[in-house]
Amino acid sequence: MEWTEKRAAGQIVVTLLNGVLKELPHGATVEDLAGSIGRELKKSAIGGRIDGKLVDVYAPIEADASVEVVTPESPEGLAMLRHSTAHLMAQAIKRLFGYEHVSLGVGPVIEGGFYYDVDAPRPIRAEELAEIEAEMANIVKEDLPIRRYMVSRAEAIHLFNEIGDELKLELIRDLPEDATITIYEQGEFIDLCRGPHVPSTCRIKAFKLLSVGAAYWRGDAHNKSLQRIYGTSFPNKRELDEHLAMLEEAKRRDHRRLGRELNMFMFAEEAPGMPFYLPNGLIVRNELENFERSLQRAAGYEEVRTPLMMNQRLWEESGHWDHYHENMYFADVDETKFALKPMNCPGHMLIYKNATHSYRDLPIRLSENGQVHRHELSGTLNGMLRVRTFTQDDAHIFVRPDQIEDEIAGIIELIKQIYGVFGFSYQIELSTRPANSMGSDGLWEAAETALQNVLASLDIPYRLNEGDGAFYGPKIDFHVRDALGRNWQCGTIQLDFQMPEKFDLNYIGEDNQKRRPVVIHRAIFGSVDRFIGILTEHFAGAFPLWLAPVQAKVVPVSDKFAEYAEAVRAKLVEAGLRVDIDLRNEKIGYKIRETQMHKIPYTLVVGKEEVAADAVAVRQYGKGDQGQMRVDDFLAQALTEAHDKTIH
């Protein structure tokens, strides 16, 4: 018998995730549903999904629907918990600094936690975060119900006028006059928010405020600067403690500190956001670029170089003027406006157009380690991870339409090969047409379909990221996972039907007629500079032998063995290793510890026994004493390790 036939009056039917059907009274809440399944589920429920829409746990189910109970352990539940913790923090700040003196900006969930932008009567100091946490704990103990209300725009304006929150009033006034607005109330605290939220402050179990920063209101440098307070929240103390331990380890691995200590790179006030490469850093960079070059040559790439600066007409033709000019740097030359290139693509279009091509010539693979400049707000700069000038390991591949899928498959294999050398696993994301795109619907549909087809044919799982493609085409992004489990977007493959149209690119087809090529934009490291920052943190500065700026250091026990130490060093250097020597009149233990501090892969100690045996006493970073080895044996081992790019 169908449910509709035996249903009692006023009853609704709920379909659970596992397909089980449950009959409930009309208007029963998600919490009621959880209780009908089990007492423990009711205790842990903090929200729900009704026909896919996230709702509060006390939201009524008004009709037959598919319903899922959300708990803090799920991704949606964790985000809800963190969003509610942001409100908890805002309430504590209002209490401590005075409701009439604090105005609230926005408080979203971000990866790893949340933040809230606040306009307080004075700067909130880092040492005051503990005081805010204590007040948050008091509010948790008060077990304040968190409830959702719908009001008109006029009612919201009246309410926040009474509260005296100018930032919220600005947000409300930007909404249409007929808008229905959602607010949340917990005790005396009211906030403008879409929600959903946990049902009570007592459901927030484990939280920590992390830092205080600054941000412009609504991301606009012309607006006032607000204080941005970061925090995190977890379902229990164990998970919070594990996360805090990971953050401490991340501090230990911070590439900015390691970059200074290892003499790799520096920054100066004279060029904010623009890295200076020191000798050791340039070694790492050259090794990375040469490694990639060797694989690209084998894969049929030809390397080119394009100018740093080209005139405004080119950027108008490429579409960057309309879609990207706010992020570009300009200069007037001979009464003509020029721009520093933010991307290498237009220069490669000009190179392709410089010659006539046959269908037999394609694919044409042009690569360039090209330096680009992009204007980033000063508050967003972050060591090597967010800079204003960087080098892209760019490539543009000009293909016939029938070559698209095979060529992309080849690029994916190349990316897989390179990431594997560093021990990176990765996830793939497919990003589709953004709001500020250029080009016709038909070309976009063809490009998106081509990328979906190649991922399907290779049986590669991916996440869809709708609306986040480049303005000229959809893209596949590669997110690598580092030693701390953090994800970094590095590689990208972008399919572009637009620029060949913009630049009127052609090849001669089999029928002797002009045909339009398709362009595949490709980067593997993404930004070489950023990739170096990621690698520095991934390896905690202890680079594998092939990348290490100094691969070995020879340390004589005393100056009596200096001549032998020099001979060992000379032999290793002649064979191609990067080797230093420590001839200072210091104790051997001190010199070994210092070598370890600089994270040099091998320390080669030489004394009386080593001289007699034509050997070295080998200490390996992270593994300690490896015993005595003949110099030739160590050399063979080290050369093999460097050639194979071994990771210990």
Which amino acids are annotated catalytic?
345, 374, 392, 394, 396, 475, 521
Helices (H) and strands (E) in the chain, counts: 21, 33
Give buried/exposed letters for 497-535 (b at 16+ CB in 10 A, else e): bbbbebbebbbeeeeeeebebbbbbbbbbbbbbbbbbbb
Distance CA 49, CA 28 (A): 14
Distance CA 115, CA 211 (A): 9
Q: Could you count the other beta carbons within 10 Å of the beta carbon of residue 472?
A: 28
Q: 584: which DSSP letter?
A: -
3-state secondary structure of 505: coil
Distance CA 187, CA 140 (A): 11
Distance CA 281, CA 549 (A): 7
Q: 561: which DSSP letter?
A: G
- Residues 6 or more apart whose CB falls under 8 angstroms from that of 96 comprise 131, 132, 135
Distance CA 518, CA 429 (A): 21
- Residue from 242, 247, 249 nearest 206 by CA: 242
Cα–Cα distances in Å, from 509 out to 331, 360, 401? 41, 8, 12
For 103, list phi and psi in degrees, rounded to 5: -115, 140
Place of tokens 């044409």: 364
Which tokens belong to 172?
A: 């409300």
Half-sphere exposure of residue 537: CA atoms within 13 angstroms, side-chain side = 27
Distance CA 493, CA 430 (A): 10
What angle (nearest 5°) sits at the alpha carbon of residue 415, between those of residues 412 and 420?
125
3-state secondary structure of 159: helix
Alpha carbon 94 to chain centroid distance?
A: 32
Say if strands 103-104 and 113-119 run parallel, antiparallel, or are unpaired: antiparallel
| Residue 321 contacts residue 315 (beta carbons within 8 Å) | yes
As to burial, measured by CB atoms within 10 angstroms (0-12 exposed, 13-18 middle, 19+ buried), residue 464 is: exposed
Distance CA 254, CA 534 (A): 9
Which tokens belong to 550?
A: 């100094």
Distance CA 408, CA 495 (A): 9
Say if strands 302-303 and 364-373 run parallel, antiparallel, or are unpaired: parallel
3-state secondary structure of 3: helix
